[in-house]
């Protein structure tokens, strides 16, 4: 019953989406508002309809209806309820429905917006979102049906099908195969939904851009409407990346926060073009420039979002993320290709109408520096695309597959990253229009001089790594310039209005939320840069086999192996757990419990490090081996990651900064 309701709700949504797209296009072309209005209702209806399907899947997952193939392959009886719910995005079929559900949520929300001033854009927003939704639903209905059940045929073989065929009997397993133990982690609750939200929410800015191209309304209206959508989409995308990184770091323990795995790279790529976009739209709004370029960026971002989903879901790449081989690859590829070509065609048609309203005058003007920022971001994007496609290209050209790994990405992106940091230090002090270098240098002088003190002091204290010094210097420059900007603005308000400084600061940010929210985000990149320098350059490690009571030293830490215990635990696990006391500079600071969980159901072990985490560093103690007789010793590996928590701290502040930038202005 639940199965049928869920499935037919998917089919119904598919039909509603197709109807919405058709009615909207017809209404727009024939100027029949009642059709557009009806299409808008269809769009509003899409989310409640997919919600029925999602609830059906969750019901099946939680109740453990193992005849359903998807439930069987992603859950098991021993899993806690929260993990059964998250299994909704634990596999291919569920993920696709979840994708559709989030997209429908954005579509429904967009339909509720007041469109009075932008009547002509609405139908095309409906067309773009509903066509995309219909595409994703068709994948679920035809290829990756989460409601498909397992049957036994009379000759004893097993088939998977939605409906019972003649002579088949239902096949109901006693227990499911369970979620991959590596996915049984709190990261599973937050990372995939954020990543997906980031992906799907770009459909709205993209749809508005397409609306502007189709209707020829190429002023900055579409950008003003999509501004907040874009920032929210960008926030989700950034959080998706950060949470994935945090999860990897937590599960892998020894510093695997970012591995340049192809799927990671493919998720970073749309983020890069989106970041370029949120910078260059400001030039579009403020100066009426870079209009064509902005269109290119939003089209590119959306195509890359789809491409990233395609790579994750199709199994094309050799990657830890490429879970399953799938039949949906060619369909996906076709959809991306068609939507990309149609977008480019629409862009070409309006190319002339998107010319700039003003010119670049100076290499040091703010618009020129924004352009440079775009160039560097796109440079990193090209590096990533090249690294990802290089094996395919080399195989085509030479017949021999040649790959590039993390060293390639690190080497090629580090200089561009430093360049971006320096820009973040300089650009906020620049001015629009005919900027000359003198006032810029004058404004820059003080923070620049102060920032040089940082590498100087560090060098005197014995830090000799050139990359680290350069990184610390760039970080200091960005931090000083940004804080200086806050200070300058607040002091000016304080003088003019006589406000006390905290109030002046508050009002300052309130008057120009995007600017000061952006500055907060710049400060986050400084924090993250500190964390990255710490883990990349100053990570240290050691290992030893210890008998009870013996100790091991790493930097300022001494660890003493106290005991080892083995026991069964709920969730179908057999746990081996060590107790290790930690001393820092000779002072006892606590115990850590490195362990290994062995899962009986999928016969798989998961190593979980014992971590002592402070802002200064993370001490990871891993249990890598033990003898049946404890006197023979237990082997530990210890990794010390200095400053790494600044990455996550930066992430928290990042949310705050984006919210400041996206917060609605008071209606004037």
Shortest Å, Cβ 414 to other proteins: 9
- CA-nearest of 295, 288, 128, 282 to 219 is 288
Residues in the interface with other proteins (CB under 8 A) total: 75
Rule CB under 8 A: is residue 219 a binding residue for other proteins? no
Exactly one of 605, 652, 656, 665 binds other proteins (CB under 8 A); which one? 605
Q: Which is nearer to other proteins, 566 or 614 (CB)?
A: 566
Query: 3-class DSSP state for residue 579?
Result: strand
Rule CB under 8 A: is residue 402 a binding residue for other proteins? yes
Rule CB under 8 A: is residue 357 a binding residue for other proteins? yes
Kindly identify the residues of this chain, within the stretch 305-334, that bind other proteins according to CB under 8 A: 318, 320, 323-325
Exactly one of 51, 160, 542, 613 binds other proteins (CB under 8 A); which one? 160
Kindly identify the residues of this chain, within the stretch 483-512, that bind other proteins according to CB under 8 A: none
Exactly one of 32, 401, 488, 511 binds other proteins (CB under 8 A); which one? 401
From the CB of residue 475, how many other CB atoms can be counted at a distance below 10 Å?
Answer: 24
Cβ atoms of 427 and 365 closer than 8 Å: no
Task: List, in sequence order, every residue forming a beta bridge with 606; answer none if it has no partner.
Answer: 597
Rule CB under 8 A: is residue 92 a binding residue for other proteins? yes
β pairing state of 634-642 and 587-592: unpaired
Kindly identify the residues of this chain, within the stretch 99-138, that bind other proteins according to CB under 8 A: none
From the CB of residue 496, how many other CB atoms can be counted at a distance below 10 Å?
Answer: 9
Q: Which is nearer to other proteins, 182 or 448 (CB)?
A: 182
Shortest Å, Cβ 86 to other proteins: 15
Rule CB under 8 A: is residue 215 a binding residue for other proteins? no
Exactly one of 8, 143, 340, 386 binds other proteins (CB under 8 A); which one? 386
Question: What b/e readout covers 81-102, taking b as 16+ CB neighbours within 10 angstroms?
Answer: eebbbbbbbbbbbbbbbbbbbb
Per CB under 8 A, which region of 38-46, 117-125, 176-184, 659-667 contacts other proteins?
A: 176-184
Rule CB under 8 A: is residue 266 a binding residue for other proteins? no
Query: Which contiguous run of DSSP H or E holds residue 103?
Result: helix 92-111
Q: Is 352 left (phi over 0), alpha (psi -120 to 50) or beta?
A: alpha
Exactly one of 570, 603, 664, 666 binds other proteins (CB under 8 A); which one? 603
Shortest Å, Cβ 175 to other proteins: 8
Task: List, in sequence order, every residue forming a beta bridge with 636; answer none if it has no partner.
Answer: 544, 623
- How many Å from the N-terminal Cα to the C-terminal Cα in the chain? 53
| Rg of the chain (C-alpha set) | 28
Query: 3-class DSSP state for residue 352?
Result: helix
Rule CB under 8 A: is residue 630 a binding residue for other proteins? no
Rule CB under 8 A: is residue 174 a binding residue for other proteins? yes
Exactly one of 33, 63, 77, 358 binds other proteins (CB under 8 A); which one? 358
Rounded to 10 deg, the angle between the 329-349 and 203-215 helix axes is 40
Instruction: Please state, in angstroms and as integers, the Cα–Cα distance from residue 578 to each residue in 171, 241, 548, 635, 636, following that order.
Output: 43, 32, 10, 10, 10
Question: What b/e readout covers 600-616, taking b as 16+ CB neighbours within 10 angstroms?
Answer: ebeeeebbbbbbbeeee
Tokens standing for residue 59: 């019901």
Per CB under 8 A, which region of 26-34, 119-127, 222-230, 349-357 contacts other proteins?
A: 349-357
Rule CB under 8 A: is residue 162 a binding residue for other proteins? no
Rule CB under 8 A: is residue 379 a binding residue for other proteins? yes
Shortest Å, Cβ 602 to other proteins: 6
d(CA 472, CA 530): 7
Rule CB under 8 A: is residue 400 a binding residue for other proteins? yes
- CA-nearest of 602, 603, 575, 606 to 76 is 602
Shortest Å, Cβ 34 to other proteins: 40
Name the one residue in this structure whose structure tokens are 């209404």. Answer: 27
Rule CB under 8 A: is residue 242 a binding residue for other proteins? no
Rule CB under 8 A: is residue 416 a binding residue for other proteins? yes
Kindly identify the residues of this chain, within the stretch 10-69, that bind other proteins according to CB under 8 A: 67
Rule CB under 8 A: is residue 286 a binding residue for other proteins? no
Rule CB under 8 A: is residue 218 a binding residue for other proteins? no
Q: Which is nearer to other proteins, 406 or 502 (CB)?
A: 406
d(CA 567, CA 579): 14
Rule CB under 8 A: is residue 169 a binding residue for other proteins? yes
Per CB under 8 A, which region of 47-55, 384-392, 547-555, 556-564 contacts other proteins?
A: 384-392
Task: List, in sequence order, every residue forming a beta bridge with 159; answer none if it has no partner.
Answer: 151
Q: Which is nearer to other proteins, 416 or 478 (CB)?
A: 416
Rule CB under 8 A: is residue 415 a binding residue for other proteins? yes
Shortest Å, Cβ 65 to other proteins: 11
Rule CB under 8 A: is residue 340 a binding residue for other proteins? no
Exactly one of 216, 330, 334, 405 binds other proteins (CB under 8 A); which one? 405
Exactly one of 138, 230, 266, 362 binds other proteins (CB under 8 A); which one? 362
Q: Which is nearer to other proteins, 333 or 408 (CB)?
A: 408
Shortest Å, Cβ 649 to other proteins: 28
Rule CB under 8 A: is residue 91 a binding residue for other proteins? yes
Backbone angles phi, psi at 659, to 5 degrees: -65, -40
Residues 6+ apart with CB under 8 A from 546: 552, 561, 633, 634, 635, 636
Q: Which is nearer to other proteins, 180 or 215 (CB)?
A: 180
Per CB under 8 A, which region of 210-218, 453-461, 621-629, 655-663 contacts other proteins?
A: 621-629
Kindly identify the residues of this chain, within the stretch 543-572, that bind other proteins according to CB under 8 A: 543, 545
Cβ atoms of 76 and 138 closer than 8 Å: no
Q: Which is nearer to other proteins, 333 or 390 (CB)?
A: 390
Q: What is the 3-state secondary structure (H, E, C) of 238-252?
A: HHHHHHHHHHHHHHH
Per CB under 8 A, which region of 100-108, 187-195, 300-308, 602-610 contacts other proteins?
A: 602-610
Q: Which is nearer to other proteins, 245 or 634 (CB)?
A: 634
d(CA 560, CA 583): 8
- CA-nearest of 464, 468, 458, 429 to 445 is 429
Torsion of CA 418, 420, 423, 427, to 10 degrees: -160
Rule CB under 8 A: is residue 370 a binding residue for other proteins? no
Exactly one of 15, 51, 153, 175 binds other proteins (CB under 8 A); which one? 175
Q: Is 643 left (phi over 0), alpha (psi -120 to 50) or beta?
A: left
Shortest Å, Cβ 548 to other proteins: 16
């Amino acid at each position: 019953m639940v199965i049928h309701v869920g499935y037919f709700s998917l089919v119904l949504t598919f039909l509603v989406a197709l109807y919405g797209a058709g009615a909207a296009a017809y209404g727009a072309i024939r100027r029949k508002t009642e059709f557009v209005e009806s299409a808008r209702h269809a769009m509003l209806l899409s989310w409640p309809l997919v919600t029925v399907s999602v609830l059906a899947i969750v019901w099946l997952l939680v109740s453990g209806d193992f005849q359903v193939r998807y439930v069987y392959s992603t859950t098991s009886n021993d899993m806690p309820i929260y993990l059964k719910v998250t299994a909704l995005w634990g596999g291919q079929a569920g993920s696709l429905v979840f994708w559709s559900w989030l997209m429908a949520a954005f579509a429904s929300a967009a339909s509720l917006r007041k469109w009075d001033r932008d009547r002509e854009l609405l139908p095309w927003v409906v067309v773009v979102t509903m066509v995309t939704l219909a595409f994703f639903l068709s994948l679920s209905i035809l290829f990756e049906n989460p409601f498909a059940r397992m049957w036994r045929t009379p000759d004893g073989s097993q088939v998977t099908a939605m409906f019972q065929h003649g002579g088949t009997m239902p096949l109901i397993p006693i227990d499911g195969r369970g979620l991959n133990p590596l996915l049984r982690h709190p990261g599973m609750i937050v990372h995939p939904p954020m990543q997906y939200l980031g992906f799907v929410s770009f459909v709205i800015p993209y749809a508005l851009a397409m609306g502007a191209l189709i209707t020829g309304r190429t002023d900055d209206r579409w950008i003003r409407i999509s501004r907040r959508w874009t920032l929210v989409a960008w926030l989700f995308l950034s959080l998706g990346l950060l949470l994935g990184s945090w999860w990897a770091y937590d599960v892998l323990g020894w510093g695997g926060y970012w591995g340049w795995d192809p799927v990671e790279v493919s998720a970073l790529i749309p983020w890069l073009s989106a970041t370029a976009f949120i910078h260059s739209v400001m030039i579009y709004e403020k100066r009426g420039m870079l209009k064509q370029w902005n269109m290119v960026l939003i089209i590119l971002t959306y195509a890359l979002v789809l491409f990233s989903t395609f790579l994750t879901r199709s199994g094309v790449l050799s990657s830890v993320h490429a879970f399953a081989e799938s039949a949906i690859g060619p369909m996906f590829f076709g959809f991306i290709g068609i939507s990309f070509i149609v977008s480019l065609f629409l862009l070409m048609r309006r190319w002339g109408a998107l010319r700039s309203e003003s010119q670049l005058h100076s290499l040091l003007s703010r618009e020129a520096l924004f352009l440079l920022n775009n160039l560097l971001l796109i440079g990193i994007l090209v590096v990533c695309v090249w690294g990802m496609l290089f094996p395919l290209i080399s195989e085509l050209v030479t017949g021999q597959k040649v790959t590039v790994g993390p060293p390639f990405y690190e080497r090629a992106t580090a200089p561009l990253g430093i360049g971006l940091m320096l820009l973040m230090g300089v650009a906020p002090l620049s001015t629009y229009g005919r900027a000359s270098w003198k006032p810029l240098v004058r404004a820059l002088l003080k923070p620049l001089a102060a920032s040089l003190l940082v590498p100087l002091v560090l060098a005197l204290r014995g830090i000799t790594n050139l990359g680290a010094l350069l990184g610390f210097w760039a970080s200091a420059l960005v931090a000083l310039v940004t804080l200086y900007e806050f200070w300058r603005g607040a002091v000016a308000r304080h003088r003019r209005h006589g406000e006390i400084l905290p109030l002046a600061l508050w009002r300052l940010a309130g008057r120009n939320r995007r600017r000061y929210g952006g500055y907060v985000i710049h400060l986050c990149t400084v924090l993250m840069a500190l964390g990255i320098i710490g883990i990349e350059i100053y990570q240290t490690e050691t290992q030893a086999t210890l008998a009870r009571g013996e100790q091991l030293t790493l930097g300022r830490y001494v660890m003493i192996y106290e005991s080892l215990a083995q026991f069964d635990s709920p969730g179908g696990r057999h746990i081996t757990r060590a107790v290790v006391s930690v001393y820092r500079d000779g002072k006892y600071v606590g115990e850590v419990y490195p362990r290994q969980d062995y899962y009986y159901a999928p016969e798989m072990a998961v190593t979980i490090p014992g971590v002592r985490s402070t802002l200064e560093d993370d001490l990871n103690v891993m249990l890598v081996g033990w003898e049946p007789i404890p006197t023979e010793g237990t082997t530990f590996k210890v990794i010390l990651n200095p400053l790494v928590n600044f990455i996550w701290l930066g992430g928290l502040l990042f949310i705050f900064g984006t919210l400041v930038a996206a917060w609605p202005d008071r209606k004037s």
